[in-house]
Amino acid sequence: MDKFVIQGRRRLNGTVRASGSKNSALPLIAATLLTERGEITLERIPDLKDIRTFRKLLEYLGADIRYRENTLTVSASNIRCVQAPYELVKQMRASIYVLGPLLARFGRASVSLPGGCAFGPRPIDLHLMAMEKLGATISIEKGFIEAQIQGSHLKGAVIDFPITSVGATGNALMASVLARGKTTIQNAAVEPEIVTLCNFLCAMGADIRGTGTSTLEINGVESLKPAPFTNIFDRIEAATLLTAGAITASSITVDDVDPSQLTAILGKFEHAGCKIITDRTSITLQSPETLSHTDVIANPYPDFPTDMQAQWIALMTQAEGTSHIIDKVYHERFNHIPELNRLGARIEIRNNEASVYGPSRLTGTKVMSTDLRASASLVLAGLAAEGVTEVLRIYHLDRGYEKLEDKLKQLGADITRESYQEFT
Ligand code: UD1
């Protein structure tokens, strides 16, 4: 297994480029399943464990895929199987993204149930509800979602989501673009990743109105044609890198971004005392010597993202005063807190609200990653800690951060990747 070894308290400076978004790349790759012939080239696809898992899944289904230097080329003309096996789905819950496109194109799909998750319940009922509304019959058999449609096509419908879900909106979109008639998705997610999926589907010939709003209207078309497409930047990676600048009292720039997608987070940095300078494609953060406590409530976009909550808590350990953090998307997503406390932070959780009492003197030790964003928060804390912090089990982090240690090194951090063996 790999770990990061971090010698903390180094000031950072310089510029790094943001990678392509993982959470946007996954539905884009899934959407290629909707095309019957030709090749699709997707640019700015990050080289990550989750992308490799998804690639394996599509290859298992029969797709031909090439990947080189962040460019992924997919031909989905020879799909021979509509079953997503447990071995791949258990590695990545987002595998559920194949449900909508397989059902739309082949009239049936069989997807293993994703199973548990490191930070509380993550149901898939909304995905299934959307497919049923579009005319699929769903049953759960032997741990698999078995979905089938009567007749040859899904039928347009009104899908009214009781809560906003990125994944269920994406699946509903991919299923409805080839359905007969009109589909209306109400309370649709408005995350940039969904906007990007809409743009890609439209580039391939789909008819979608209302992109970027919470009501999407889709008029089903006969077929989609391959179209080249460039993925968006990873807003969570970019914000994590900015947090690395903030937690080390440094000044850094993240390039190749669209600052408008980070409005809520940049506002919080400013509240904490950081100076933020943006232009069309870059963000510079200048951190003060002393940060101010700043409360955060994680909510769906355009609010502060749940995927930055753990990193924010790490940052607030260095802020003067008490910060309160609530996650309204995943109420129990606080696995990072005991590990941050082991580094010397003072964080309490009461009624799903974290109170961070800062500033704390962090001192390096061994800490354990438990999920992707929790790992990032431990790396950030390690950058601020005195002495050496070892972040173990960084395979979680490798799921979603492309070359994080290289980017941090480029900014001047003292961080190395080493392999180690765990005692069993
Ligand atoms: C996506 C992101 C994940 C991010 C999350 C919220 C990907 C691959 N993952 O996950 O990084 O943390 O959005 O921004 O893009 N829910 C249900 N039933 C469902 C589906 C979801 O109750 O069928 C609930 C979830 O438990 C959660 C909320 O809806 O409380 C939002 O989840 P959702 O937006 O679906 O997250 P994902 O798409 O799984």
Decide if 256 is inside a domain.
yes
330 Cα to the center of ligand 1, angstroms: 8
295 Cα to the center of ligand 1, angstroms: 22
Clarify whether residues 218 and 357 are in a common domain. Answer: no
Which residue's CA is minimally distant from atom 7 of ligand 1? 23
| CA gap 110, 132 in Å, rounded | 14
Clarify whether residues 50 and 135 are in a common domain. Answer: yes
Confidence (pLDDT) at 204: 98
The dihedral of CA 171, 113, 234, 52: what is its sign? Answer: negative
Q: Which of 111, 234, 329 should be mutated for ligand 1, with most atoms under 8 A from CB?
A: 329
The pLDDT tens digits of the residues spanning 142-178 come to 999 999 998 889 999 999 999 999 999 999 999 999 9
Clarify whether residues 257 and 187 are in a common domain. Answer: no
Q: Is 81 among the residues known to form the active site? A: no
Confidence (pLDDT) at 151: 87
Clarify whether residues 173 and 40 are in a common domain. Answer: yes
Clarify whether residues 69 and 118 are in a common domain. Answer: yes
What letter would DSSP give residue 229? Answer: E
Q: Is 168 in the pocket of ligand 1 (CB under 6 A)?
A: yes
Clarify whether residues 10 and 65 are in a common domain. Answer: no
Decide if 424 is inside a domain.
no
44 Cα to the center of ligand 1, angstroms: 23
169 Cα to the center of ligand 1, angstroms: 10
Enclosing domain of residue 335: 2-19+233-419
| The one catalytic residue among 117, 198, 202, 274 | 117
Clarify whether residues 242 and 222 are in a common domain. Answer: no
User: Half-sphere exposure of residue 40, counting CA atoms within 13 Å on the CB side?
Assistant: 28
User: Half-sphere exposure of residue 224, counting CA atoms within 13 Å on the CB side?
Assistant: 32
* DSSP string of 167-223, one letter each residue: HHHHHHHHHHTTSBSEEEEES----HHHHHHHHHHHHTT-EEESTTSSEEEEE--S-
CATH of the domain at 357: 3.65.10.10
Pairing between strand 39-43 and 229-230?
Answer: parallel
In this structure, the number of other CB atoms found within 10 A of the CB of residue 58 comes to 23
The two structure tokens encoding residue 76: 């989905």
Clarify whether residues 27 and 46 are in a common domain. Answer: yes
| CA gap 178, 397 in Å, rounded | 36
Ligand 1 atom nearest to 96, measured from its CA: 39
Decide if 299 is inside a domain.
yes
Ligand 1 atom nearest to 50, measured from its CA: 8
Cite the annotated binding site for phosphoenolpyruvate by residue number. Answer: 22-23
Domain boundary among 170, 203, 230: 230
Q: Is 94 in the pocket of ligand 1 (CB under 6 A)?
A: yes
Tell me how many domains the chain contains.
2
Q: Which of 51, 57, 165 should be mutated for ligand 1, with most atoms under 8 A from CB?
A: 165
Domain boundary among 230, 265, 289: 230
163 Cα to the center of ligand 1, angstroms: 10
Clarify whether residues 149 and 283 are in a common domain. Answer: no
Angle at 349 between CA 347 and CA 352, to 5 degrees: 140
Clarify whether residues 95 and 175 are in a common domain. Answer: yes
Clarify whether residues 409 and 290 are in a common domain. Answer: yes
The pLDDT tens digits of the residues spanning 30-72 come to 999 999 999 999 999 999 999 999 999 999 999 999 999 999 9
Which residue's CA is minimally distant from atom 32 of ligand 1? 165
What letter would DSSP give residue 224? Answer: -
Domain boundary among 204, 230, 256: 230
Q: Which of 125, 166, 174, 236 should be mutated for ligand 1, with most atoms under 8 A from CB?
A: 166
Q: Is 127 in the pocket of ligand 1 (CB under 6 A)?
A: yes
Are 407 and 47 in contact by the 8 Å Cβ rule? The answer is no
The dihedral of CA 405, 408, 410, 416: what is its sign? Answer: negative
Clarify whether residues 101 and 237 are in a common domain. Answer: no
Give pLDDT tens digits along the chain (424 positions).
Answer: 999 999 999 999 999 999 999 999 999 999 999 999 999 999 999 999 999 999 999 999 999 999 999 999 999 999 999 999 999 999 999 999 999 999 999 999 999 998 655 666 678 999 999 999 999 999 999 999 999 998 889 999 999 999 999 999 999 999 999 999 999 999 999 999 999 999 999 999 999 999 999 999 999 999 999 999 999 999 999 999 999 999 999 999 999 999 999 999 999 999 999 999 999 999 999 999 999 999 999 999 999 999 999 999 999 999 999 999 999 999 989 999 999 999 999 999 999 999 999 999 999 999 998 899 999 999 999 999 999 999 999 999 999 999 999 999 999 999 999 999 988 7
Cite the annotated binding site by residue number. Answer: 22-23, 93, 122-126, 307, 329
